[in-house]
Structure 1
Amino acid sequence: MTATTATPALRMESIKTTTRRVPNVLALYSEFIQKNQSSVTQIESALRSLTYVIPGRFRDAELASESLHSGVQLLSMYHDTLLMRAISKLPGMPRQQSPHNRYTKFWIARSKFYRRIATLLSMIQYTELLWEMTAKRRGERIRWRVVVILEVVKAMCKLCLLRITNSRPLVTPPLPERELVPEDASSEDHEENEFAEIVEKPKECKEYKMKRTGMSIPTLPNPSDISNYLLSKVLTADDIKAPSALLNKVNGSAQLAELLHIIQPVVYAIAMSRSKDKKNWQPWLLGLSIEYAARQLRKDGLRTTALEREEWNKRGWAMGWWMMRGAFYENVTKGFLTSASQRLPSLMSGILDDYLYLWDGYYFSTSSN
């Protein structure tokens, strides 16, 4: 009886012990990422670069490559969250941030719903090509069904973000971009000799962290570069604006432009799924017309903020992907790239041929939304 009654108690105790260890492991991992942020960033970049050169090298390589790429992107997003939390806990004056990060951090802190929807949207964007590759194994009909469903879900997420932000334009990406955690000027093991070391070796330490307040005192600038140093400390109009004021609310034709930009991928995906001929110009002209109408309907006046101009510049550059889609790719770009591949060295032509295979067979390989 004692053994039988003790067994459940031992199990509960082991479960509790395991539960206590999980937060400790996560805390140690978070501390490791903060201390080795430069190395982690380099490893992430190296893994992404690896996925760019291995598609088509062996059977099912594109699926393995995209699985690795999606995993790295998701892990990188988690690392961004860890570093953002670490920066928010740093003492001292608020550090200079880009308008994009100020805006997105404001809405993440204000609305949990925004954070969840933005995270879901980013996860779909990172894994959409992997979903399409998996669905294609079950046939073209299943593949296009998955593509349309993903575009519809992304559009719903964007409409929710538009609603949460009180009809402000969407930003790309919807989550803050990575910021590096400032490194301490000296270690805690030499606190008593910190000031003496800084005086003797000013070039080895970037800044001095005061013990009582935790604020950091930057080193003096190079005498030959004082003007640039002072200009970098000057506050601009966007620096003193409230984060919500970095983007103006859209109304009228500008709101219609934002809605057209959101629904354009859905319309194009549905048109492509119903078109049996890849060289048919109708889906391509329909999608490009909606995107062009959105750009023409937007308002670009004196009240346009720097963040708005930055976002529309990103969308303008993204329109270049239309040369790699649908009928334009099949009738124009594909022939040009095929002839160029024949003139390139064998290594470069092999990589280009692998990408031609991806561009030929997958919708999300050239998606920009």
Structure 2
Amino acid sequence: MASKQVPNALSLPPKWINMYGDFITKNQSSVTQIESALRSLTYIIPGRFRDAELASESLHSSIQLLSMYHDTLLTRAISKLPGMPHQQSPHNRYTKFWTQRSKFYRRIATLLSMIQYTELLWEMMAKRRGEKIRWRIVVILELVKAFCRLCLLRITNSRPLVTPPLPEREVIPEEASQEEEELEEGWTEQRIREPKEYKMKRTGLRLPTLPNPGDISNYLLSKVLTADDIKAPNTLLNQVNGSAQVAEWLHILQPVVYALAMARSRDKKNWQPWLLALSIEYAARQLRKDGLRTTALEREQWGKRGWAMGWWAMRGAFYENVTKGFLHSTSERLPSMISGVLDDYLYLWDGYYFSTSSN
């Protein structure tokens, strides 16, 4: 009796995982709304309660990791839908190509994403053991992230890094979900009787159904193929060489240099680490090439890096000497409810390196 119960017990976890995956797939919109609500809650109350900062950040990191797992389940479900007529973004086409082609890319990209979701939590735990341990953990995490990015650069044959390195969540078309439900409930006969196309009497040719008159523009645009739509996924980013490759290396190594400089500096208001790291990032932008062969995905990724440079106003000496005083004085003039949320964020920005990290 006992020998029969052991295999049954071992088969339960995979069965539960499959049931959970089916539930997430069939209730995607509800799950996404719950994730957004919980994520917004952790943004509104970021300390984040000072004394309970670890609990709050643990909740935030757990939601991010669970959301990443849900993305994997939904991507797997979408890939199984036959003939799904949906248009993927260049980012998703590119990242899906490499995750399906290379297991090493998928593992490294997953590790990099997990570190980015939990790095602030690691710093909070390390800070409780002292500033020396905290900066040691910060440098180690930046080194691991740089190693992961160098591996991704190598795997993709010297193509620029993309953010995020994994495919983003896609919405399962409602039409596909409705068709599956109707098939399960035995409504196929009714759908067969519905006219889908018109057969011409004399020639026997079949004409497809016409679109809704009020939605003709969107219908026509959905049928148009752009240059990126017909490109192979791996050609959505050009290979970098020469100065462009040096620019990519500088972009990858810049956070490590900044973390090491900050760990060695005893004065938060010291401008040297901030100017050094910003100079490296600026040099990386100047060395990259904007040729005629620049793709839409490359322009999108460099646009993200440009916006991310705005975080330098919230880091290091610039924050301590300029931004911090302005924000604290602004907080004193705001209503108590708004100033309370801002004060929680100021507490994070004042004390934690990864709270304003853009990499």
Matched AA of 2:334: L
Q: CA 1:182/1:228 → structure 2, altered by over 3 Å: closer, same or farther?
A: closer
Q: CA 1:104/1:81 → structure 2, altered by over 3 Å: closer, same or farther?
A: same
Give 2:70's aligned residue.
79
Is 1:173 matched up with 2:189? no
Is 1:195 matched up with 2:191? yes
Distance 1:347 1:93 in 2: 47
Percent of matched pairs sharing the same residue: 79
Deviation at 1:52, TM superposition (A): 1.3
| Contact preservation (8 Å) 2:49, 2:344 | no
Deviations 1:108-157 (A, max 9, x none): 11100000000000000000000000000000000000000000000000
Q: CA 1:290/1:114 → structure 2, altered by over 3 Å: closer, same or farther?
A: same
| Contact preservation (8 Å) 1:131, 1:146 | yes
| Residue in structure 2 matching 1:152, options 130, 143, 147 | 143
Deviation at 1:19, TM superposition (A): 1.7
Give 1:115's aligned residue.
106
Q: CA 1:59/1:324 → structure 2, altered by over 3 Å: closer, same or farther?
A: closer
Is 1:305 matched up with 2:330? no
- Residue 91 of structure 1 aligns to a residue in which SS? coil
Q: CA 1:198/1:271 → structure 2, altered by over 3 Å: closer, same or farther?
A: farther
Deviation at 1:65, TM superposition (A): 1.3
Deviation at 1:14, TM superposition (A): 2.9
Distance 1:59 1:251 in 2: 47
Give 1:228's aligned residue.
218
| Residue in structure 2 matching 1:42, options 33, 42, 58 | 33
| Contact preservation (8 Å) 2:126, 2:134 | yes
Distance 1:270 1:335 in 2: 26
Q: How many residues align?
A: 343
Is 1:359 matched up with 2:344? no
Deviation at 1:15, TM superposition (A): 2.8
Deviations 1:267-287 (A, max 9, x none): 000000011000000000001
Distance 2:99 2:129 in 1: 38
- Residue 181 of structure 1 aligns to a residue in which SS? coil
With a CA cutoff of 8 Å and minimum separation of 6, indicate the structure with the bigger relative contact order: 2
Distance 1:336 1:29 in 2: 48
Give 1:246's aligned residue.
236
Give 1:283's aligned residue.
273
Give 1:4's aligned residue.
none
Distance 2:314 2:146 in 1: 22
Q: CA 1:37/1:93 → structure 2, altered by over 3 Å: closer, same or farther?
A: closer
Deviation at 1:222, TM superposition (A): 2.6
Matched AA of 1:189: E
TM-score, normalised via structure 2 length:
0.92
- Residue 185 of structure 2 aligns to a residue in which SS? helix
Distance 2:349 2:41 in 1: 18
Distance 2:84 2:247 in 1: 39
Deviation at 1:221, TM superposition (A): 3.2
Deviation at 1:95, TM superposition (A): 3.1
| Residue in structure 1 matching 2:96, options 68, 92, 105 | 105
Distance 1:358 1:182 in 2: 40
Give 2:200's aligned residue.
none
Distance 2:117 2:210 in 1: 43
| Contact preservation (8 Å) 1:48, 1:72 | yes
Matched AA of 2:239: K
Deviation at 1:92, TM superposition (A): 1.5
- Residue 239 of structure 1 aligns to a residue in which SS? helix
Deviations 1:214-271 (A, max 9, x none): xxxx985331331232012200000000000000000000000000000000000000
| Contact preservation (8 Å) 2:47, 2:57 | no
Distance 1:228 1:243 in 2: 25
Is 1:65 matched up with 2:61? no
Q: Which runs of 5+ in 2 are unaligned?
A: 197-207
Deviation at 1:57, TM superposition (A): 6.5
| Residue in structure 2 matching 1:19, options 10, 33, 38 | 10
Is 1:185 matched up with 2:175? no
Distance 1:58 1:348 in 2: 15
Distance 1:268 1:81 in 2: 33
Distance 1:173 1:55 in 2: 23
Matched AA of 2:190: E
Give 2:130's aligned residue.
139
Matched AA of 1:126: Y
Distance 2:276 2:188 in 1: 70
CA RMSD between the two structures:
1.8
Q: CA 1:266/1:82 → structure 2, altered by over 3 Å: closer, same or farther?
A: same
Give 1:52's aligned residue.
43
| Contact preservation (8 Å) 1:54, 1:61 | no
Deviation at 1:96, TM superposition (A): 1.4
Distance 2:17 2:48 in 1: 36
